[in-house]
């Protein structure tokens, strides 16, 4: 299968290791990777800030960039969830709405693609230690992708996955929320970091780097040695 990779801004600029691990993982399955070099932001930060009309040009660029794809895969449930919103944002334009629906229908978060589309859950990955999994809001609540990451992590040799208090609650990032409401966001992230520390894991694993960056930043500030890893990096561990 030819997989078109939507890396997202935050992975492209701040977590290239996640993008690399995603490519290596998909290539290990024999898929050909297509990477449109003119891809840009999905438009979510601008849309969430209230610039709905200005976001439409960014959305149309995304559609033009990716509509040739057989399937679109991204290591970010948050950005994928916004692509799923495109038809609603462009609802007043019949032609663009139909093109948005076609793109949205073939766009998947990474673990969703691995389990629900190609039905592969074992990558012979090895990572000794104890880990907690942060279930990020957009992936779990909007995409309804809850069990897929856990199925994948359950097959990692040596990895003990444990739960922690309020593991399914928001980390406080919320895109522009963390900028607009910095003090509240920090309090939420501190609470999340405290509950994670109580579980005493070696690793914090997630399927969206934005949340991992936010929680990891708080853990670092309190001197924690918990290693933060995206699920693509975990599945690529040998």
List pLDDT tens digits, range 6-55: 999 989 999 999 999 999 999 999 999 999 999 999 999 999 889 999 99
- Residue 130's pLDDT is what? 97
Beta bridge partners of 161: 131
Residue 61 has pLDDT above 80, yes or no: yes
- Residue 181's pLDDT is what? 84
Structural domain ending residue among the three candidates 65, 99, 116: 116
What domain range is 202 assigned to? Answer: 123-236
- Residue 167's pLDDT is what? 86
- Residue 169's pLDDT is what? 86
- Residue 106's pLDDT is what? 98
Residue 77 has pLDDT above 90, yes or no: yes
Structural domain ending residue among the three candidates 116, 140, 170: 116
- Pair 177, 208 in one domain: yes
- Pair 102, 141 in one domain: no
- Residue 171's pLDDT is what? 85
Structural domain ending residue among the three candidates 87, 116, 145: 116
List pLDDT tens digits, range 92-113: 999 999 999 999 999 999 999 9
List pLDDT tens digits, range 161-215: 999 998 888 888 877 788 888 888 888 888 999 999 999 999 999 999 989 999 9
List pLDDT tens digits, range 112-143: 999 999 999 999 999 999 999 999 888 999 99
- Pair 70, 176 in one domain: no
Confidence band of 238 (pLDDT split at 50, 70, 90)? confident
Is residue 3 exposed (0-12), middle (13-18) or buried (19+ Cβ within 10 Å)?
Answer: buried
């Amino acid at each position: 299968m030819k997989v078109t990779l939507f890396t997202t801004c935050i992975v492209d600029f701040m977590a290239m290791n996640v993008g690399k691990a995603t490519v290596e993982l998909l290539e290990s399955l024999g898929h050909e990777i297509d990477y449109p070099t003119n891809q840009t932001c999905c438009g979510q930060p601008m849309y969430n800030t209230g610039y709905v009309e200005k976001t439409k040009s960014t959305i149309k660029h995304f559609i033009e960039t990716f509509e040739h794809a057989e399937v679109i895969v991204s290591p970010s449930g948050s950005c994928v969830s916004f692509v799923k919103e495109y038809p609603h944002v462009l609802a007043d334009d019949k032609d663009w709405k139909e093109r948005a629906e076609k793109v949205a229908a073939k766009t998947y978060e990474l673990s969703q693609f691995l389990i629900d589309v190609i039905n592969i859950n074992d990558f012979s990955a090895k990572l000794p230690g104890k880990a907690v999994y942060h279930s990020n809001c957009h992936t779990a609540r909007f995409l309804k992708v809850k069990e897929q990451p856990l199925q994948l992590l359950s097959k990692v040799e040596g990895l003990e996955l444990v739960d922690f208090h309020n593991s399914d609650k928001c980390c406080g990032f919320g895109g522009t929320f963390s900028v607009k409401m910095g003090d509240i966001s920090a309090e939420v992230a501190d609470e999340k970091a405290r509950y994670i520390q109580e579980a005493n894991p070696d690793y914090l694993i997630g399927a969206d780097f934005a949340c991992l960056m936010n929680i990891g930043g708080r853990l670092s500030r309190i001197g924690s040695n918990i290693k933060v890893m995206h699920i693509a990096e975990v599945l690529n561990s040998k």
